[in-house]
Structure 1
Amino acid sequence: MLQLESQLHGTRMPQSTKTAILVIGGAEDKVHGREILHNFFCRAGSDEARIAIIPSASREPVLSGERYQNIFEDMGAKEIKVLDIREREQGSDPYFQEYIENCTGVFMTGGDQLRLCGLLADTPLMAKVRQRAHLGEVTLAGTSAGAAVMGHHMIAGGGSGESPNRSLVDMTMGLGLIPEVIVDQHFHNRNRMARLISAVAEHPERLGMGIDEDTCAMFERDGVLQVIGKGSVTIVDPGEICYTNYTEVNANEPISIHNLRVHILSHGNRYHLHKRTLIPQDG
């Protein structure tokens, strides 16, 4: 296992105005430095930011939406709207679509990723979010469940504390915002390494990404991600696997995987998603 220590740990990274996709592991600091949320705010336009908050994953969407609305108001955003979507039909609402067309930032809160996908997958609203994010026209962030939905394949649930095995993880389709990755959140905090390895064994064409609490993998359009926050981002790379018994064992039997690569990235590290390499600090 390769441990990549940041020379910038404990310091605030320079903040850019370039748009990005922020994949947040959950439980981000909402009170003190608010580093991750402030990075989202800056990349969404700072005092010119027009932010859409989507609290659909939450069981209490009003409270969740209001909490983030208050935070971004305190930072000085120009306009904030909570898109309280509770029925799939609202994903075709012209009012919501118009706001998504003109906003500069979209923030998806935590909760239940299955609920979020059930409400928004294959809707005109989410198609517009995906299009604008990929064109670099809007900064997109998702925390906890809002992070889990980022990949083409999504971890819907599962367990922890076991050896990797097929029954340890439940997979379904995500929103495909960053299709190359399978995201697991609250990662080391909830002992989810075996779960992510099990997911990658099922889909070895994808890159596994485990994100700790109060930690963010921030993707720019050039395929480079930066790590910000207090924890680490664990990359599970199956690109050089030479053997696995995944298709040969029963659901509860341990999986064997040979030559699986794991990288642990901390605050300030930069990683090229497509080349699957660490970028030097001065690179």
Structure 2
Amino acid sequence: MKKFRFIAAAVCIILFSALADAATPKGHLVIVGGGGRTDKITEAYLKYSNSPEAVFLVIGTASETPMEAAESFAASIKKAGAGETRCIAPTRAECNDPAYVDKVMEGVGGVFFCGGKQRRITDNIRGTLLHERLMKLYYDGGMISGSSAGAAMMSEKMITGSRVDHSEEGFKDIAPDMVEVVEGMGFIKGAIIDQHFLKRSRQNRLFSVAFDNPECVCIGIDEATALVVTKGREIEVLGKSSVTIIEPDRKSIRIDPKYNYAGNAKVKILFEGDKYKLKK
């Protein structure tokens, strides 16, 4: 029976993914670059999660102390005006358990993913029944939000934070095949998200990813700054700092003799109130 449920869940996820590719989400994404939030970002959480009427689900999976992280965020959002909150840090087995998923998703209008390590989110949740239900919530009109690691995991292709060679050298150059990118949660299409962007000087990292993946727009979100994504494509910026948009020019990209990248890209710097539309 368990094997049958797993196969059925996998089939449902594949079918829903195909439908999602053709559909326009009715819900919203609120994607925060880490490092706190402004009042307007808090207002977006409450507005798009249908608070206080709906349940606000907080997923602490990315954190080293997942339930503590989830409960801390839940307390802050409840103080700001949310209604019922629900905190979870599920195992992968729980994410594929229909009874568990039904229970945690009951009445949910909005979801928040805490910060930490984004691989913990994808390793535990990606491709599971819970992932399918979260995607369905978003396409049906609910909110998916996250900060820091909870921002990075939003895209189809996800920056893990590591080098491909897993060395500790950092990202000193703009170079090919340097930054590790894996499959993300896929809530936002055609874009790759980086976070803590200016605060942690991640320009080399994101330009390298942009030239590795010229079919995608790369978006660097600074701290206490957010994207609100409507209809899957329409972006508005909220917060204290800026969002950097990198649009690589595929035809101009080349690798020079030192094995560094050279090429052209359009770079746009957006601040609160600025808007941007992703291509279909």
Say if 2:89 is the partner of 1:80.
no
Please tell me the residue identity of whatever aligns with 1:254: N
Structure 1's unaligned 5+ residue stretches are: 1-17, 276-283
Partner of 2:252: 243
The alignment yields a C-alpha RMSD, in angstroms, of 2.0
Cα distance, 1:150–1:249 mapped onto 2, change above 3 Å: farther
How far the C-alpha of 1:173 sits from its partner, in A, is: 1.1
User: What is the CA deviation profile of residues 15-67 of structure 1, one whole-angstrom value per residue up to 9, with x for unaligned ones?
Assistant: xxx841011101123xxx54312311122113213111000000011210111
Aligned match for 1:179, one of 189, 209, 217 = 189
Please tell me the residue identity of whatever aligns with 2:260: P
Distance 1:163 1:263 in 2: 21
Tell me if the contact between 1:165 and 1:198 (Cα under 8 Å) persists in the aligned partners.
yes
Partner of 2:14: none
Distance 2:232 2:159 in 1: 26
Say if 2:227 is the partner of 1:217.
yes
Say if 2:96 is the partner of 1:92.
yes
Say if 2:185 is the partner of 1:203.
no
Please tell me the residue identity of whatever aligns with 2:31: V
Partner of 1:37: 42
**TM-score, scaled relative to structure 1:** 0.82
Distance 1:67 1:193 in 2: 31
Could you list the structure 1 runs, at least 4 aligned residues long, displaced by more than 4 angstroms after superposition.
none
Please show how residues 120-269 of structure 1 align to structure 2 within 5 Å.
Answer: 120-135=125-140, 137-158=141-162, 162-166=172-176, 168-221=178-231, 223-238=233-248, 240-246=249-255, 253-258=259-264, 260-269=265-274
What percent of counterpart residues are identical? 30
Distance 2:252 2:130 in 1: 42
Distance 1:249 1:108 in 2: 42
Cα distance, 1:270–1:97 mapped onto 2, change above 3 Å: same
Structure 2's unaligned 5+ residue stretches are: 1-25, 163-168
Distance 1:249 1:134 in 2: 46
Tell me if the contact between 2:27 and 2:139 (Cα under 8 Å) persists in the aligned partners.
no
